[in-house]
Amino acid sequence: MQTNQIKEFIRAESKKLGFCVCGFTNAEPCADFVRYQQWLETDSLGTMAYLKREDTLAKRADPRALLPEAQSICVLGVPMALRPAPSEPEVASYAWYADYHETILSMAEKLVEKVRQQSAVSGQWPVDSDQQSAVSSQCSVVSDKLSAVSSQCSVVSDQQSAVSNHHSSLLTPYSSLPTPHSSLLTPNQLPDPSPQQPVFSYRICIDSSPILERSLAVRAGLGWIGKSSMFIHPKYGSRLFLCEILLNIPIEPDTPYTKDGCGSCLRCTNTCPNHCIDPESRTIRADHCISYLTIEHKGEFTPEQSKLVGTHLFGCDECLRVCPWNSRDIGESPLPLAGAVPQLSDYDLTDMEFKEKFRNSPVLRTKAKGLRRNIEAAVKNSNK
Ligand code: B12
Ligand code: SF4
Ligand code: SF4
């Protein structure tokens, strides 16, 4: 199969699975890593220290540190509708949906399986084998269950970043291996496929992998980085989750996006309740961002942090709501809704009840203690 045919095949199949945008870039190092380093220097990470860990920096700089044989990156987007009006107390729209890490991972795995089958049918690169498929299906790992799975799957990549990572993190390790392994291997120790029998390999990244997702989306021609620091697509706005599939197949890259749809607009900058947005660098002061405080911040709030949270219980959509690129109706998301959305009465939930109530929700990330902390702050602020 020619690389362009594979590209069109992946685009068509991705649509059928619910991805609304699909672009391609190469696996070369990310020039925007310089911007990332500059942002680290602003020292606004709060408790997200994992974002500056040496081993993960190398991966952000060069995606091939995640999959050495990667030749192409397929960047995908899944639409997310903003809830029509802010709820009171406020819960970010994404938390109305079942945890996107899990649902998008399953969509991406289905897509990979289609590519694998198609490649085998065409009899061209990459060659497939039953053994590899068996190994790869064992190896879709939810990081929270990492230790349990690692004994079964025995291949662990980025386990450190997955454990400490953003939102509720998922990890997809090296997905195809020539043989099953009985000990832990680092990426560089993986055996080389024999030259006669190249193997199909891939790696799926959704949020929690150390990769510059927004920059890659621009490089894959899908849209631009807004002043809010959100990636914006001309049709879907910033109401998109991103996902990347690193592939060892050569695919012609799309032309990077070069337009800027923000113009002189400053709505997000002026709306952000905590003045987090720096429209010049198009980055945010993360440790003041309500999304960080209510989801990622570990530990109790200082009195200042507690005030910054306002009446938000989990996440924040304020810079998304005011963005003119988010006003077009894009219909509903293909993502299923979560079983529950947080409310003030959740303050009384025991840890077990919390886990049960939010079992398929991204809210699990805060743990019961974190949600109680957020509720306390929101109640205090709404009484003022
Ligand atoms: C850490 C993190 C956070 C932190 C910090 C966010 C931030 N803005 O930096 C916190 C916890 C605050 C957060 C909040 C949210 N997050 Co978050 N987060 C991440 C994560 C894990 C890393 C982001 C990061 O590295 N930030 C540091 C900055 C410097 O890097 P960057 O965002 O990649 O920015 C690059 C570009 O902006 C580019 N760049 C900068 N200026 C310019 C200018 C030009 C011209 C160009 C071309 C490029 C460019 O260079 C930067 C370095 O590569 C990503 C997943 C990932 N692995 O990438 C998700 C991710 C960014 N988050 C996401 C979401 C949905 C959210 C929230 C909307 C959730 C919510 N409702 O509460 C908010 C939005 C807040 C906001 N305005 O950004 C989505 C965003 C999708 C999109 N359309 O952009 C991502 C991509 C996850 C996903 N897979 O979908 N998040
Ligand atoms: S998510 Fe909220 S707090 Fe964070 S930058 Fe956007 S508007 Fe500001
Ligand atoms: S609100 Fe305006 S400035 Fe901010 S990201 Fe949207 S278009 Fe750009």
- Check pocket membership of 77 for ligand 3, CB cut-off 6 A: no
CA of 29 to the centre of ligand 2 (A): 29
Least confident piece of the model among 163-177, 186-200, 221-235, 309-323:
163-177
Task: Give the residue from 247, 280, 295 where a domain finishes.
Answer: 247
**Is 92 within the bounds of a domain?**
no
The 3-state DSSP class for residue 192 equals: coil
User: For residue 209, what pLDDT is reported?
Assistant: 96
User: For residue 183, what pLDDT is reported?
Assistant: 31
Classify 207 in phi/psi space as left (phi over 0), alpha (psi -120 to 50) or beta: left
Question: Do 212 and 349 have their domain in common?
Answer: no
Question: Do 375 and 229 have their domain in common?
Answer: no
**Is 231 within the bounds of a domain?**
yes
**Is 262 within the bounds of a domain?**
no
Query: Which residue has the least CA distance to atom 8 on ligand 3?
Result: 262
- Check pocket membership of 318 for ligand 2, CB cut-off 6 A: yes
| Concatenated DSSP letters of 340-351 | ----GGGGG--H
- Check pocket membership of 52 for ligand 1, CB cut-off 6 A: no
Q: Distance between CA atoms of 143 and 162, rounded to whole angstroms? A: 6
Query: Of 30, 25, 20, which is closest to residue 76 (Cα–Cα)?
Result: 20
pLDDT per position as a tens digit, 331-377: 989 999 999 999 999 999 999 999 999 999 999 999 999 999 999 99
Backbone phi, psi, residue 56, to 5° = -80, -25
Question: Do 104 and 213 have their domain in common?
Answer: yes
- Chain centroid, CA 98 distance in Å: 14
pLDDT per position as a tens digit, 137-191: 323 333 323 332 232 222 223 333 333 333 322 333 323 323 222 233 344 444 4
The 3-state DSSP class for residue 65 equals: helix
The letter for the amino acid at 247 is L
Mean per-residue pLDDT of the chain:
84
More confident site: 80 or 166: 80
* CB within 8 Å of 147: residues ≥ 6 apart: none
| Concatenated DSSP letters of 249-308 | S--PPPPPP---S-TT--HHHHH-TT--EETTTTEE-GGG-HHIIIII--SPPPHHHHHH
**Is 45 within the bounds of a domain?**
yes
Task: Give the residue from 247, 279, 304 where a domain finishes.
Answer: 247
CA of 266 to the centre of ligand 3 (A): 6
**Residues taking part in catalysis:** 207
The letter for the amino acid at 361 is S
Question: Do 31 and 147 have their domain in common?
Answer: yes
Q: What would the two tokens of residue 251 be?
A: 């695919």
Q: Distance between CA atoms of 231 and 245, rounded to whole angstroms? A: 18
For the CA of 237, the nearest atom of ligand 3: 6
Compute the average pLDDT of residues 248-259: 96
Question: Do 150 and 184 have their domain in common?
Answer: yes
Task: Give the residue from 219, 247, 275 where a domain finishes.
Answer: 247
The letter for the amino acid at 140 is S
Number of domains in the chain: 2
Classify 197 in phi/psi space as left (phi over 0), alpha (psi -120 to 50) or beta: beta
Question: Do 221 and 138 have their domain in common?
Answer: yes
Question: Do 212 and 298 have their domain in common?
Answer: no
CA of 322 to the centre of ligand 3 (A): 8
More confident site: 139 or 280: 280
pLDDT per position as a tens digit, 108-118: 999 999 999 88
Band of the pLDDT at 72, cuts 50, 70, 90? very high
Instruction: With beta carbons less than 8 A apart as the criterion, state whether 56 and 69 touch.
Output: no
**Is 261 within the bounds of a domain?**
no
- Check pocket membership of 277 for ligand 2, CB cut-off 6 A: yes
Question: Do 173 and 301 have their domain in common?
Answer: no
Question: Do 231 and 278 have their domain in common?
Answer: no
Question: Do 124 and 157 have their domain in common?
Answer: yes
**Is 182 within the bounds of a domain?**
yes
Question: Do 214 and 312 have their domain in common?
Answer: no
User: For residue 154, what pLDDT is reported?
Assistant: 26
Mutational test site, ligand 1, from 48, 158, 203, 207, max ligand atoms within 8 Å of CB: 207
Q: Apex CA 323: angle with CA 318 and CA 327, to 5°?
A: 110
Q: Distance between CA atoms of 62 and 56, rounded to whole angstroms? A: 10
Domain that holds residue 371: 267-382
Looking at the chain, the whole-number percentage of residues with pLDDT higher than 90 is 74
Q: What would the two tokens of residue 43 be?
A: 């020292």
- Check pocket membership of 327 for ligand 3, CB cut-off 6 A: no
Question: Do 35 and 166 have their domain in common?
Answer: yes
Residue 67 has pLDDT above 70, yes or no: yes
Largest distance between two CA atoms of the chain? 71
- Check pocket membership of 128 for ligand 2, CB cut-off 6 A: no
**Is 256 within the bounds of a domain?**
no
CA of 317 to the centre of ligand 3 (A): 13
